[in-house]
Amino acid sequence: MSTMFEKTRVRRLVPRTKAGLAAVTMALLAAVAGTAALTGGGEDSRPVTLEEAERLAAVRFHAYEAGPTRVEVSVPGGTGDTVVDGVVDYRAHRAVGGYATSGAGPAQHGMLAWDATGLAVAVGPAVKGAAAVRGSGALRAAERLSSRDWSPRAYSSDPLDVVLHVMMVLGQDRPDNAQLLAQGGARRLGQRTEGGVTYTLFTGPRPQRDKDGGTRGGRKGASPAPDRPATSPLTYWLDGQDRLGRLEVRLASLPRPARVDFKDSDTKWKLPQKPWQGLMPGAPRAPGAART
């Protein structure tokens, strides 16, 4: 199965080893690549118990097991928000949705398709009505487009790219190691009720520094980078069935946390093939790739 950006040979975000939620935080650090500082959570918190770590360890497995799931992504900006409403399938490792931006200037609308390696944008007359695309409607809208309507590109350090990039790590076919999560600094932040549902909030394991002072996964011997948070910049909202209801991503470049809300799931939903068709290894990159 071709990935979105085999042709640009972009480094995959998903680690080859199953390092669990610690790898999700490291993926976020790699995604910003030093161009945007991260912030840790400032909430009152405490280390997780082993029982709570077991709840957190099941997050990625439940996301994988749920099948195609509606997601609403909201990334705040200085003058307005960018919202993506669509469907992610962690078994297929793909997602598609409609996006809309708000702000001082004219609103922008279009379609997005993304996977672990990059994203593609569809704008213009071909995506008429994209502003009204919601949830599973994005699957039908994407299916109506031709492969030529999609302009693929690599992920950048733009906050929307970072959030979509990290979101694609949140699904694997087995639970994480609860003991390692507890030892890695995962914390319980408390509970919140929203929409009639009570959630328990957790941060994942914090980035680990090696004995030479660098962050594990970075250059050996490097001095501690000032943008490495003391706690995980990711907050997981778990419902009573230990399913992920929301992921918050804190970036210093944003006025408030970005948010990924996980909604209903349906095993009958199927991700369209068209955004990925024709993207063969070694093919030249599409000129003038659109940016959101």
**pLDDT at position 232 over 60:** yes
What is the secondary structure of 245-270 as a DSSP string?
A: EEEEE-BTTSSS-EEEEEEEE-TT--
User: Which of the residue ranges 54-68, 128-142, 257-271 would you say has the lowest mean pLDDT?
Assistant: 128-142
Confidence of residue 91 (pLDDT cuts 50, 70, 90): very high
For the segment 257-269, what is each residue's pLDDT rounded down to a tens digit?
999 999 999 999 9
Tokens standing for residue 147: 């492969």
Give residue 222's pLDDT.
Answer: 46
Confidence of residue 89 (pLDDT cuts 50, 70, 90): very high
State the chain's mean pLDDT as an integer.
Answer: 80
Alpha carbon 247 to chain centroid distance? Answer: 8
Max mean pLDDT among 173-177, 224-228, 279-283, 286-290 falls in 173-177
Give residue 78's pLDDT.
Answer: 80
Contact 290, 99 (CB under 8 A): no
Neighbours of 43 (CB within 10 A): 12
What is the secondary structure of 198-223 as a DSSP string?
A: EEEEEE-PPPPB-TTSSBTTS-TTPP
Give residue 4's pLDDT.
Answer: 55
Max mean pLDDT among 95-99, 102-106, 142-146, 202-206 falls in 95-99
SS3 content of the chain, % helix, strand, coil (to 5): 20, 30, 50
Neighbouring-strand partners of residue 113:
96, 120
Contact 165, 27 (CB under 8 A): yes
Give residue 21's pLDDT.
Answer: 76
Give residue 50's pLDDT.
Answer: 94
Mean predicted confidence (pLDDT) in 234-259? 93
Confidence of residue 206 (pLDDT cuts 50, 70, 90): confident
**pLDDT at position 185 over 80:** yes
pTM greater than the 0.85 cutoff: no
Contact 264, 218 (CB under 8 A): no
Confidence of residue 5 (pLDDT cuts 50, 70, 90): very low
DSSP H helical segments within 10-157, as ranges? Answer: 21-32, 50-57, 59-65, 137-144
What is the rounded distance in angstroms from the CA atom of residue 123 to the CA atom of residue 110? 5
What's the length of the chain?
292
The amino acid present at 177, given as its one-letter code, is: N
3-state secondary structure of 162: helix
Mean predicted confidence (pLDDT) in 222-235? 64
**pLDDT at position 288 over 50:** no
For the segment 156-183, what is each residue's pLDDT rounded down to a tens digit?
989 999 999 999 888 999 999 999 999 9
